[in-house]
Amino acid sequence: MKKVFPFLLLSIALLFSANKVNAQVGITAVPFLQIEPDSRGAAMGNTGVAIADNASAIFWNPAGLAFQKQNQVSITHANWLPAFNADLFYDYLVGTYYIDGIGMIGGHITFLNLGEQTRTDETGLELGRFNSYEITAGLSYGFQISENFAVGTGLRYIYSSLADGSVSGQQINPGSSVGLDLAALYKSDTFTVADRQASINAGINLSNIGPGIQYTDNAQKDPLPTVLRAGWAYTMDLDEMGMNTITFSNDISKIMARNNRVQNEDGEETFEPMGVMKALFNSWGTLEHNNSGEMVSLNLAQQLMFGFGAEYWYNNLFALRAGYYYENPDNGDRQFLTLGAGLRYNIFGFDFSYLYTLEDDHPLANTIRLSVLVNFR
């Protein structure tokens, strides 16, 4: 037996939690689809569904593309799980292009390198080495229905190569699937608050709707991390000239995947993934999940993930950002502060984010993201 597959599944789980497997992420495959890709949103407590005003709207809310007219290319790099020193890294390349009469079209490529692994037999004899990685690529489009409201969609191809060979007589193959996004964004007209110009946005995005991923030659599939994200953003000028502005944002998200509890041939209780459409309608009740050997029951409020962010801009040249992210202790227990900054000069932009975890020895501690963007006419 080749003993690499369980190790890789554990590695994926550790992408999101240090001492316990995230109760929601643990029932899905390819959790890298949930990694917030751009440094700006990451610095604002992982928020952006109601902002979505640059190329990274493809991730946060593709409806935001409809309000954009300037072409842009951006790339983000992060050394992932730096505490493990495991040579993992995350790259995100995104670009947008405006076509007269059609609107803004965006494309992206996301790559997560899971490092080089050693394949062994049951005696520990090394049988070679292989690389593990996951990649997705797709296109997105936003359509403006009115001056204040737009809808958007996106489609991506997902490829996950975790291991090869066989385990317990089952052949291990790369998994693949497709994911669909459906989104909407409302942007208010400007209004006056204390003699200052202000506006408010509201957005919603249901991402990664699609069939599950199959890694072995049996019939079982693991569901995609279908995520429902909704939120708001409030922007206000701090002076009459609009030189100083501040934005407050809040995202609330939830995994829309579910498993059915069944008994196997030996009478043992196990879980099987629920169909994607059925899961969308059955994800609002109590979630029961085996979390580190203990059955955990989560009500709807406990299944929600919260992000809060703030962003200050000086003359659209320099930005300071901060945020806070929270998950229930029985639902991943990710709790961290985020900080960041941004700089714009001519057609170039640079963004930086830093993640500070609220618990010791968390694998996400000290995660740094760096983003570079270029605007074109």
Tokens of 72: 């842009």
Task: Using a cut of 0.95, tell me whether the model's pTM lies above it.
Answer: no
Query: According to the model, what pLDDT value does residue 2 have?
Result: 39
> Quick check: 7 pLDDT over 90?
no
User: What amino acid occupies position 256?
Assistant: M
List domains and CATH numbers for the chain. Answer: 5-376 (2.40.160.40)
Does residue 26 or residue 164 have the better pLDDT?
164
Q: Is 105 exposed, middle or buried (0-12, 13-18, 19+ CB in 10 A)?
A: middle
Query: According to the model, what pLDDT value does residue 312 have?
Result: 98
Q: Is 30 exposed, middle or buried (0-12, 13-18, 19+ CB in 10 A)?
A: buried
Tokens of 19: 């001492």
> Quick check: 14 pLDDT over 70?
no
- Is there a contact between 323 and 45 (Cβ–Cβ < 8 Å)? yes
> Quick check: 4 pLDDT over 60?
no
Question: Which distant-in-sequence residues (6+ apart) come within 8 Å of 169 by Cβ?
Answer: none
Does residue 271 or residue 73 have the better pLDDT?
73
Does residue 337 or residue 295 have the better pLDDT?
337
- Is there a contact between 252 and 230 (Cβ–Cβ < 8 Å)? yes
Q: Highest mean pLDDT range out of 31-35, 251-255, 333-337?
A: 251-255
- The residue among 107, 103, 19, 110 whose CA lies nearest residue 57 is 107
User: Which of the four pLDDT bands, split at 50, 70 and 90, describes residue 290?
Assistant: low
- Is there a contact between 307 and 45 (Cβ–Cβ < 8 Å)? yes
- Is there a contact between 366 and 82 (Cβ–Cβ < 8 Å)? yes
User: Which of the four pLDDT bands, split at 50, 70 and 90, describes residue 13?
Assistant: very low
Query: According to the model, what pLDDT value does residue 219 have?
Result: 61
